[in-house]
Structure 1
Amino acid sequence: MSRAGLGFYKGNGMLVKELTKASCGRPFEHLGWVAGATGELLLRVWLPDAVAVEVQPFDSAMASVPMTCVDKAGLFEASFSQQSSAFHYRLAVQYAKAEQTLIDPYQFRDEAYAGLAEMTHQAANLYRTLGAQLVELQVDGVMVSGVRFAVYAPSAKAVSLIGDFNHWDGRRHPMQRSLCGHWVLFVPGLQAGDKYKYELKDPLGNTLPHKADPVGFYADQYPSFASVVFDHGQYQWQDAAWQASQLNDKLEQPISIYELHFGSWKRHDDGTHLSYREMAESLIPYIKDMGYTHIELMPVSEHPFSGSWGYQPVGMFAATSRFGSPDDFKYFVDQCHLAGIGVILDWVPAHFPSDSHGLARFDGTPLYEYEDPRRGWHPDWNSYIYDFGRDNVRQFLVASALYWLDHFHIDGLRVDAVASMLYWDYSREDGEWVPNIYGGNHNLEAISLLRWFNEEVYKHYPHAMTIAEESTAFAGVSRPTFTGGLGFGFKWNMGWMHDTLQYMKEDPIHRKYHHNEMTFSMVYHYDENFILSLSHDEVVHGKHSMLYKMPGDEWQQAANLRAYMGFMYAHPGKKLNFMGTEFAQSSEWNHDAQLNWWLLEFGKHAGQRALIRDLNHLYRQEPALYEADYQRGGFTWLDHGDSANSIFPMLRRNKAGDEFMLVVCNMTPVPRTDYRLGVPQTGQYQVVLNTDSEYYWGSNVDLGGLQFTAQEDAMHGQPCSIVLNLPPLATVFIKRIGD
């Protein structure tokens, strides 16, 4: 250790006062090795409540040196001659009723700064540098392991590290401020599992509520909400084959997503949650059997209030510890991949809660949020809005996205509440928002952030996908940034969801007046890469379950839902269904209880699940149902105007155009006998799925056979046709099987 940079000692009075009040912002200038007033070399340590201290050099050839107590508050010094060189050391500390040997953090000033020197403007470096990083040092032949802490708080007057290791005493581990506003300290002896927080003084010197680490990797639950040191290097991934298999064009792949809330899919008999590992055992075989290609998890980022469903996160780098450790979550993802199931994660960069241990006024100033409440406070969710124009916020959010893809091998990120980010006047009346520099209502800073986010994700993780929950007609959400788009891979089709559900709620006798609500989506379908989503938002807050949105008696409700599911799988676009819909859960979703699995004892619900299973497997087996989702040749309305009969015949083709699937939906309870359906060519046609089958609790109306011979009688703009009976409230899939 050289003597370069050692601070000059100017007296103890003010120093002790600052240390005692945990307001010393530059401890490296006063603690550890410092220059004495007359040129001697001083070693100064701060150990509140210590009675005696002895310096023990790492070099065993050097003698131990007792230190002098220069202030009873806990300041000790040892003086060395001008010719002495600084050395690394341990401290043998004696307290009134205990003894301790420790390695003084303040001899490692260069090591504390080391992470910042390595940090560049690449967002991924943020989570490799900030937070609690486990470090091993080779010092004078001695291996020193510990944790390097770094937190960004540029306006704080002082920051202290607190935790179990120092009795949560802000006096004991003051951190050093860097020129760029980061606070750093390397603490030898700490290890994975240690709990910690930061004690900050605001610019006026007032003590703020203890803060969790914004880049913390693991967190304790209520009431402490402490951050926990975690070692990301221990888990051994097994999914290399899965990762290699994902470098394909997602637009041309079958994607059927099962959206779920981790805490309420299934629970133990006593009502407690399943762990990440228990969910792997229960959920994965179910998803595989049901034929879904992906699961989408409602946010598992750490969040203090379960009732927020995860959409009020405070830990953008921490998988919630409600269900286990980060490695347990890795195991869950790993097992999904080994079973051939992709994992999409809901990610929330739009807003954050006001909990005192979180990001709100983190250093006593609006470090992460817009200061003006007309921009920085969201009235819908009573939460703060990120200041998307600040470089620290942009780096923080993009780093969070990359972190989940990096450390947890997540396959995709569904970005929540994009519309609220894009518009200053989202959910605001005139006078409640501030226009942009051009006088408009677009948040140009958020638009810029979203573009950068997508560019970074696809640059570093080309196998991944990004999905926007965006409810407006904002142009180019899923178009490349170089064409002026936002760069998302996909966009939820909220318009399709709204229009088609509105149609399905109508009594069938009135549906002929709403026919265009089922066909209108194809007018704009090719503007974006749409996912047809029936999410959790549609089965809460008095909106009813999917089953009870449907009109009619018990049989008609179930038949309507089955027909609608068939229509969804026939319509271009990837698919998403919320948990419970697959077996027609009758009640709204309750995040405090598991799904009503007991309903599967009844034929109506077992039939619905059998249908969704068969739809998923048929969808994955037939390229005509997914390969050309976003190509105009992939879909044709055979007749989009048969409103009088509420019939929707359609033709799906694969990318090459040499395979096709015919689908016809009858959205009335009236069977249609001898219905002539146009087909592209002669040959034998077979019904491959009928939602009215008795296997699905349908009426099993006779279709006139299961195979049909096409005749050269033109119909629906096609040169040939077949004749069949259409069952009531049903969707029928038909495929050509040969000449």
Structure 2
Amino acid sequence: MQLDVLQAARCAEPFNLLGPGQDQSGGWIRAWLPGATDVSVLELASGKHLGHMQQQSGSALFELVLPQYQQVPLYALEITTLDGKFERIDPYQFKEQAYHAVHFVDHDPQNVYQQLGAQLLELDVGLDKTIRGTRFAVYAPNALAVSVIGDFNWWNDTAHPMQKTSLGYWVLFVPGIAAGTRYKYALKDRQGNSLPHKADPVGFQAEQYPSHASVVYEHAKYIWQDEAWMSRQGWDPYHQPMSIYEVHLGSWRRKLSGNGSVFLSYRELASVLLPYVVEMGYTHLEILPVSEHPFDGSWGYQPVGLFAPTSRFGNPDDFKYFVDQCHQHGIGVIIDWVPAHFPEDGHGLARFDGTHVYEYEDPRKGWHPDWDSCIYDFGKNEVRQFLVASALYWLDKFHIDGLRVDAVASMLYLDYSRKDGEWIPNVDGGNHNYEAISLLRWMNEEAYRRFPLAMTIAEESTSFAKVSRPVFEGGLGFGFKWNMGWMHDSLHYIAKDPAYRRYHHNELTFSMVYAYDESFILPISHDEVVHGKGSLLRKMPGDEWQQAANLRCYAAFMYGHPGKKLNFMGNEIGQSSEWNHDSSVQWHLLDYDKHQGIQLLYQSLNRLYCQYPALHQCDHAATGFEWVDHQNSEQSILAFVRKSLDSRQKIYVICNFTPVPHQGFRMGVTDAGHYKVLLNSDDAQYWGSGYSDKVAYISEQQTWHGKPHSVQIDLPPLATLYLIYEQID
């Protein structure tokens, strides 16, 4: 029976069969060693030869009886194979060390990545000796058997059977396994059928196709240099500027190789992307998902490794270096995190042990019709811990500053993208997924409690209440929410021919009705410049000059509007074609004055936004905004004022969304004094018409727009102006 289960890789309790043991007649050692022709046992402390092991029935099972020992000492095996002789410390003498992995996993979500996966250990065994190796632990509650396989055992699924615990985890400590070792898990389902070899769900490093192997990784090796950033005082994202540059690392810039182009590495990106971000005046980088994923075309939104930065661009140390360099240059790093769904790739989480371990079993809850992917079982304790642990892991081990959580709406609603009869109502008969709501609240509470300087951001496209309000106020607990309504309405408006914009004026003003219901980020993201939607520049109507002018006018309107800012790469240079993940941003366009001008405008907007408190301090407070004129639909003109927290600094924003200039256009103002032009998106340096070169205006004591004073402005075509009030002494 022992031989049968070992030979068939169906051994669930190898510690009962292998390693040291004793009975009334003394001690014994058993070892399962496929490929061995001769085996000797050496006492580990002294190197003393304890004897030759006897091969059992011509199998890979070897045994040595030690009647003189009531307790077998620590030992090593001297193994002879057809390829030579080598020494190995038997893993099956470390039962206690293996079991230690699962004692505390359910006590704290951080224990998932501190205990599970491949953990490098150094065991003190006395006599001034230590044993280094790796403890493997994986959750597969319904598997008949699990083995760890890798380069160290020639990927033989009979060589290292793991021990099943009562909690459904499988464990084994293997001496001699160092960082850099490749491994996977070989599982048998409950009927004994072999499953595809699985990558480690809590693996910290992974390989690309074709192996998709996990790699043992040592987190402690990297020495961080970002202490000043991580310990900064007074960081308050709500009252400080936040201009986010959204980037797909694989296509921001590529390098030529042979007949094509290849990715830049994390370290190469640090040397070229980071200086660009600093020069352009952005405060944060947001990176499309870096979690390991098998398919380039998913952009990372179909991840299989929620604990491993993708190896497309380097190893985890390289990614740490990238983040470290960002922090040393004052740039925060946000990553897209995808807890909503995962793909069916054979080496991944789908039917991990032959059953639905990670996903809902019923396809009405467990299958996503939009993305042909599996939906996590948000009600299962182990899955909930796994997901919360992943969120904390990126904040902890990689010093990430923010998590932008993808596809939140699909998690909140049971009927998301489903027809009648294709979804299961909750216990109250409604469409809210209470389990997902509970999970998101828990994740946000844990993230903010443990990492107070970090932030979470929801991509949520519905009117679900209090997404960015604290859990104790009945909210989901996110720090911010993408303002998808503003994005949709404003892009719909700006795409209209100016002659028809008068009929859509409310699309620009409606966002202020709900602007303070949530803590909003205004996103012009990758989703708006792909799949036939065209680039931001090509959404604009008119001839070449008008398209560029519309884009500049719109960008300046966005930076004046309340809410933090997010722009996808390429927007800032007026890229002409929509985003293609297989090629670089069209940097060659900067050879032309038009695109240089657009880029310079974005740089100016970032710097003004960061420099002037009125443009950012009250992004989320109604006291920081006041309409001057929101009813001028006939001329498609908007005017409003932004105020600093103390209301002393006032910046007036006036937008002309038609190609008709207005000389002497009167705008009401509150205070008498000088009004300096901070920005004119029609300035010649931005490839504008240069219609007006005035740098300041003086108010007149003439009531207008309900204000006691007014200024007469030369308002350029398709332009946005910023005017700052300067008091006369």
TM range (shorter): over 0.9
Report if aligned partners of 1:257, 1:294 keep a CA contact under 8 Å in 2: yes
Distance 1:358 1:63 in 2: 44
Counterpart-to-counterpart distance in 1, 2:538 and 2:47? 82
Secondary structure, aligned partner of 2:136: strand
| Aligned match of 2:641 | 651
- Counterpart of 2:359 in 1: which secondary structure? coil
- Structure 2 letter corresponding to 1:426: Y
What residue is the counterpart of 2:507 in the other structure? 517
1:345-364 paired onto structure 2 within 5 Å:
345-364=335-354
Instruction: Identify which of 305, 311, 330 aligns with 2:320.
Output: 330
Task: Give the corresponding residue for 1:122.
Answer: 108
Judge conservation of contact 1:246–1:463 (CA < 8 Å) in 2: no
Instruction: Measure the CA separation in 1 of the matches of 2:322 and 2:68.
Output: 60
Q: Which residue of 1 aligns with 2:165?
A: 178
Find out whether 1:113 has 2:102 as its counterpart: no
Q: 1:405 to 1:97 in 2, by over 3 A?
A: closer
Structure 2: distance between partners of 1:522 and 1:468: 20
- TM-superposed CA distance for 1:121, in Å, is 2.0
Match of 2:711 among 707, 714, 722: 722
Choose from 266, 269, 291 the match for 2:281. 291
Separation of aligned partners in 2, 1:88 and 1:191: 20
More moved, 530-539 vs 139-148: 139-148
Instruction: Please give the alpha-carbon distance, in whole angstroms, between the structure 2 residues aligned to 1:118 and 1:202.
Output: 26
Counterpart selection for 1:302 from 266, 284, 292: 292
Q: 2:439 aligns with which of 449, 454, 457?
A: 449
1:287-317 C-alpha deviation (Å, 9 max, x unpaired): 0010000010000100000000000000000
Cα offset for 1:58?
1.6
The aligned counterpart of 1:60 is 46
Aligned pairs for 1:343-422 within 5 A: 343-422=333-412
Which residue pairs with 1:8 in the alignment? none
Gaps of 5+ in 1: 1-13
Are 2:624 and 2:647, in contact at CA under 8 Å, matched by a contact in 1? Answer: yes
Deviation at 1:31, TM superposition (A): 0.5
The aligned residue for residue 194 of structure 1 is 181
CA contact (8 A) 2:22 2:71 kept: no
Residue correspondences, number: 724
In the alignment, is residue 460 of structure 1 matched against residue 459 of structure 2? no
Q: Secondary structure at the match of 2:271?
A: helix
- Per the alignment, in what secondary structure is the counterpart of residue 557 of structure 1? helix
CA offsets 1:242-294 (integer angstroms, 9 cap, x no match):
11226522111100000010000001123111000000000011000100000
1:35 is aligned, of 13, 16, 22, to: 22
The corresponding residue for 1:706 is 695
Give the Å deviation of 1:679.
Answer: 1.6
Name 2:614's counterpart in structure 1.
Answer: 624
8 A contact 1:465–1:489 mirrored in 2: yes
SS at match of 1:722: strand
Identify which of 231, 249, 258 aligns with 2:218.
231
Query: Which residue number corresponds to residue 118 of structure 2?
Result: 132
Equivalent residues of 1:676, 1:724 under 8 A apart: yes
Q: Distance in 1 between matches of 2:471 and 2:174?
A: 44
Give the corresponding residue for 2:674.
684
Provide the residue aligned with 2:33 in structure 1: 47
2: CA distance, partners of 1:78 / 1:549:
78
CA deviation map 1:230-251 (0-9, x unaligned)? 0000111011101122652211
CA drift at 1:86: 1.8
Tell me which residue corresponds to 1:96. 82
Give the match's secondary structure for 1:651. Answer: strand
Q: Is the 8 A contact 2:22 2:70 kept in 1?
A: no
Paired residue secondary structure (1:272): strand
Report if the CA contact (8 A) 1:88-1:140 is conserved.
no
Q: Secondary structure at the match of 1:663?
A: strand
Give the Cα separation in 2 of the matches to 1:89 and 1:40.
16
Give 5+ residue unaligned stretches, structure 2.
none
Q: Which residue of 2 aligns with 1:508?
A: 498
- 1:82 deviation in Å? 6.8
Which residue does the alignment assign to 2:555? 565
Contact 1:216 1:228 in 2 (8 A): yes
Q: 1:24 is matched with which residue?
A: 11
2:532 aligned partner: 542
Say which of 231, 237, 240 aligns to 1:244: 231
Task: State the TM-score, normalized to the length of structure 2.
Answer: 0.98
Shift of 1:120: 4.2
* 1:145 and 2:135 matched: no
Deviation of residue 324 (structure 1)? Answer: 0.3
Alpha carbons of structure 1 residues 247 and 80: separation in structure 2 relative to 1, 3 Å: farther
SS in 2 for 1:251: coil
Q: What is the CA distance between 1:167 and its match in structure 2?
A: 0.5
Instruction: Say whether 1:208 aligns with 2:208.
Output: no
For the Cα contact (< 8 Å) 1:58–1:140, is it kept in 2? no
1: CA distance between counterparts of 2:396 and 2:692? 54
CA deviation map 1:461-520 (0-9, x unaligned): 010010000000000100111111100000000000000111111111111110000000
Taking the TM superposition and a 5 Å limit, the aligned residue runs for 1:526-675 are: 526-675=516-665
Shift of 1:118: 4.0
Residues 532 and 246 of structure 1: is their aligned pair in 2 closer, same or farther, counting only changes over 3 Å?
farther
Rounded to whole Å, the distance in 2 between the matches of 1:417 and 1:726 is 41
Give the share of equivalent positions with the same residue, in percent.
Answer: 59
Aligned equivalents of 2:327 and 2:614: distance in 1? Answer: 26
Which letter maps to 1:76? F
Supply the distance in 2 between the matched residues of 1:525 and 1:663 (Cα, whole angstroms): 17
Cα distance in 2 for residues equivalent to 1:49 and 1:337: 51
How far apart, CA to CA, are the structure 1 residues paired with 2:18 and 2:326? 51
1:3 aligned partner: none
Tell me what 1:11 maps to: none
Tell me, what secondary structure is at the counterpart of 2:29?
strand
Find the aligned partners of 1:187 and 1:243 in 2 and give their Cα distance.
36
Shift of 1:70: 2.0
Counterpart residue type for residue 442 of structure 2? W
| CA apart distance, 1:683 | 1.2
Deviation at residue 636 of structure 1 after TM alignment? 0.7
Q: Which residue of 1 aligns with 2:249?
A: 262
* 1:484 aligned residue: 474
**When the two structures are superposed, what TM-score results if normalisation uses the length of structure 1?**
0.97
For residue 186 of structure 1, what is the amino acid of its counterpart? F
Q: Which amino acid aligns with 1:627?
A: Q
Please give the root-mean-square deviation of Cα atoms over the aligned residues, in Å: 1.1
Q: Deviations over 1:40-69 (max 9, x none)?
A: 321111112212111100231854322222
Once residues 315 and 675 of structure 1 are traced to their aligned partners in structure 2, the CA distance between those partners, rounded to angstroms, is 58
Is residue 2:143 matched to residue 1:156? yes
Amino acid at match of 1:52: D
Provide the rounded CA distance (Å) in 2 between the counterparts of 1:491 and 1:331.
29
Superposed CA deviations along residues 677-714 of structure 1, whole A, max 9, x for unmatched, are: 112211111101100000000000025x2211112222
User: Given that residues 40 and 49 in structure 2 are in contact (C-alpha distance below 8 angstroms), is that contact kept between their aligned partners in structure 1?
Assistant: no
Q: For the Cα contact (< 8 Å) 2:101–2:171, is it kept in 1?
A: no
Given the superposition, is the C-alpha separation of residues 246 and 297 from structure 1 closer, same or farther in structure 2, using an over 3 Å criterion? farther
The 1-side partners of 2:607 and 2:236 are apart by 20
Find the residue that maps to 1:101 and give its secondary structure: strand
User: 1:717 & 1:146 partners in 2: Cα distance?
Assistant: 76
The answer to whether the Cα contact below 8 Å between 1:157 and 1:205 also exists between their aligned partners in 2 is yes
User: Does structure 1 conserve the Cα–Cα contact (< 8 Å) formed by 2:360 and 2:376?
Assistant: yes
